[in-house]
């Protein structure tokens, strides 16, 4: 690591937010009320898992465009004993869906899953079997210390009493307003009078408060075996959706072990399949290890060129060999091996952009939220959750007051491919709740939303920390780049001279306001302190808890 990365940088920037510091716990999420809900649990004596579940339920209220109980996600948990596990609560294909249920739009590229009528994008037919609620409740029961009713109280309060809409929420509603206006229930809350709710106006969700209250009393069974599930199933049946009662009763979460990458003396742990992210972050780090990225400098044309090439390689392999391991054989060992990285690196031209195909056998047959929490006991959780696109299926389930996912848009509507539809298949995701260790000690936990741009952005944050020696705040806020083989997107902070040089290398450069969403994370210092950071791309807020209880034996009296 170096301390003077700016001396070699081709792109400069200044952080727009400040980190938080703590000694007794930290919660970082993409909304201040959600972070506060988590810290409230820590203050009450709970652990990081209690804090995370409180934060997630609160996010379903205050960040409804990103996360919901009819969604899916992936949680990376490190317990105080040093063990790591992933809890896979990803959505699955309903049993009524077949490989040819949807019709692909004619002429769609291989990586575009659009269907005629947008049936897999908007409305009831876009909704996959939810996993979030079951995963959250089970995770709390297994690893938390508090009751479900206690951790859900902040969410219930904000749903019942309302909260002030942020400019970010207003902008997200505005982006989706045309489609949301087609649904009476969702419009009533977020488009009062037909217009997006304004910043500062109160968002009231009384029906959803009743749903949350019922869940607090009855747990996940309320949805998967009980009356809330009946409401969902009846709505699907009446409106052409696919979810049936047996889809809910048969749904199971899966505990998985992380994918490991060894990079310049660091151990990087990420999610395994069906997530594509851990495999391809490991693959890209292995390739980049052959270059002196620190010396090349942050945001230079040379560094961005190598990033672009490894991204294209990873996406080519992702298209060929990503998916649910219960349905396809994902070649994890080959993709994450140093030998395969050497093979791919040897074909990279240092000054010329190339098109890349898959280096593994072709297998036949972005809008999210992330939060990170840590306690003083050594428990850490980084979890990414989503209803897929902004406001998911762009509908609200009457009687539940919640927005369902549109996860069906992530499956290939054409039969015979790795990501094709099959009943019970888990969705493939780019979610990247990552942790990095040095000398056996946890150093960083981080993640972000952003669809297919998630794992490339997480990769860049790790490179910023390890190669460039940035602070955590700098690493999450730093300008990003992205490509999967077509245009090379670079954030606007990348200067004109760097863009020009990239163009001379053969890249089709496209300047964009943002790549992916609001990253947040926690750094763990050797002295026991924690630093929390969130970036400018969302309403991210770190809240830390320091101080502590009174010294033993202390009394207060008046003479």
How, if at all, do strands 488-491 and 509-512 pair? parallel
Backbone phi, then psi, for 115, in 5-degree steps?
-125, 160
Cα distance between residue 395 and residue 407, in whole Å: 13
Cα distance between residue 183 and residue 395, in whole Å: 6
Cis bond before residue 78 (omega within 30° of 0):
no
- CB-side exposure of 407: number of CA atoms within 13 Å? 36
Whose CA is closest to 397, among 246, 254, 162, 210?
210
Provide the sign of the torsion angle of the four alpha carbons 179, 182, 188, 192, taken in this order: positive
DSSP letter assigned to residue 348: -
Q: How many residues does the chain have?
A: 559
Cα distance between residue 553 and residue 543, in whole Å: 30
Q: Taking a C-beta distance cutoff of 8 angstroms, is the pair 389, 406 a contact?
A: yes
- CB-side exposure of 37: number of CA atoms within 13 Å? 30
When computed from its CA atoms, the radius of gyration of the chain, rounded to whole angstroms, is 23
Cα distance between residue 199 and residue 72, in whole Å: 28
Give the active site residue among 368, 372, 386, 429: 368
Provide the sign of the torsion angle of the four alpha carbons 9, 11, 16, 20, taken in this order: negative
Q: Taking a C-beta distance cutoff of 8 angstroms, is the pair 366, 449 a contact?
A: yes
Cα distance between residue 353 and residue 64, in whole Å: 40
DSSP letter assigned to residue 196: P
Residue with tokens 């002429």: 107
Q: Which residues is 21 bridged to in the sheet?
A: 531
Cα distance between residue 76 and residue 61, in whole Å: 23
Residue with tokens 């997480």: 458
The two tokens of residue 412 are 């290939």
Q: Among this protein's residues, is 402 annotated catalytic? A: no
- CB-side exposure of 146: number of CA atoms within 13 Å? 24
DSSP letter assigned to residue 323: S
Provide the sign of the torsion angle of the four alpha carbons 102, 105, 110, 112, taken in this order: negative
Whose CA is closest to 123, among 238, 223, 247?
238
How large is the greatest C-alpha to C-alpha distance in the chain, in angstroms? 87
Q: Which residues is 164 bridged to in the sheet?
A: 202
Residue with tokens 């809330």: 228
Cα separation of the two ends of the chain = 57
Which positions are annotated as active-site residues? 368
């Amino acid at each position: 690591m170096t301390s003077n990365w700016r001396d070699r940088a081709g792109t400069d920037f200044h952080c727009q937010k400040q980190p938080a510091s703590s000694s007794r716990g930290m919660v970082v999420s993409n909304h201040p009320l959600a972070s506060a809900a988590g810290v409230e649990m820590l203050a009450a004596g709970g652990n990081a898992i209690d804090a995370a579940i409180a934060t997630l339920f609160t996010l379903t209220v205050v960040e409804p465009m990103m996360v919901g109980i009819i969604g899916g996600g992936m949680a990376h948990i490190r317990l105080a004993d040093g063990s790591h596990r992933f809890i896979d609560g990803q959505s699955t294909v309903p049993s009524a869906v077949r490989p040819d249920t949807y019709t692909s739009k004619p002429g769609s590229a291989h990586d575009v899953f659009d269907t005629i009528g947008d049936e897999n994008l908007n409305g009831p037919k876009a909704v996959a079997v939810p996993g979030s609620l079951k995963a959250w409740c089970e995770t709390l029961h297994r690893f938390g210390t508090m009751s479900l009713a206690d951790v859900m109280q902040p969410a219930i309060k904000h749903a019942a009493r309302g909260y002030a809409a942020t400019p970010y929420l207003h902008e997200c509603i505005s982006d989706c307003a045309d489609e949301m206006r087609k649904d009476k229930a969702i419009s009533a809350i977020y488009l009062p009078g037909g217009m997006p709710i304004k910043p500062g106006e109160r968002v009231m969700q009384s029906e959803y408060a009743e749903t949350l209250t019922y869940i607090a009393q009855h747990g996940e069974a309320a949805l998967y075996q009980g009356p809330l599930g009946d409401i969902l199933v009846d709505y699907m049946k009446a409106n052409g959706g696919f979810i049936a009662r047996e889809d809910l009763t048969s749904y199971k979460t899966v505990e998985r072990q992380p994918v490991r990458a060894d990079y310049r003396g660091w151990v990087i742990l990420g999610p395994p399949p069906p997530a594509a992210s851990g495999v391809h972050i490991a693959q890209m780090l292995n390739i980049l290890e052959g270059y002196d990225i620190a010396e090349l400098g942050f945001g230079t044309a040379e560094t961005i060129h190598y990033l672009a090439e490894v991204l294209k390689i990873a996406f080519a392999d992702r298209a060929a060999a990503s998916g649910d391991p219960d349905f396809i054989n994902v070649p994890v060992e080959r993709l994450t091996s140093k030998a395969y990285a050497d093979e791919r690196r040897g074909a990279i031209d240092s000054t010329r952009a190339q098109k890349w195909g898959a280096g593994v056998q072709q297998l036949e047959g972005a809008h999210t939220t992330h939060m990170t929490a840590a306690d003083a006991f050594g428990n850490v959780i980084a979890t990414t959750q989503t209803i897929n696109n902004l406001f998911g299926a762009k509908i609200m389930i009457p009687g539940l007051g919640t927005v369902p996912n549109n996860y069906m848009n992530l499956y290939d509507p054409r039969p015979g491919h790795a990501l094709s539809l099959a009943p019970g298949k888990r969705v493939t995701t780019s979610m990247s709740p990552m942790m990095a260790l040095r000398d056996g000690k946890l150093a960083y936990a981080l993640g972000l939303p952003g669809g297919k741009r998630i794992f490339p952005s997480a990769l860049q944050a790790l490179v910023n920390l390890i190669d460039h020696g940035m602070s955590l705040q700098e690493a999450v806020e730093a300008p990003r780049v992205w490509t999967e083989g077509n245009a090379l997107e670079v954030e606007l902070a990348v200067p004109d001279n760097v863009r020009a040089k990239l163009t001379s290398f053969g890249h089709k450069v496209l300047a964009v306001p943002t790549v992916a969403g609001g990253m947040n994370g926690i750094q763990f210092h050797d002295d026991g302190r924690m630093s929390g950071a969130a970036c400018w791309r969302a309403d991210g807020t770190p809240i830390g808890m320091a101080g502590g209880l009174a010294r033993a034996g202390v009394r207060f009296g008046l003479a």
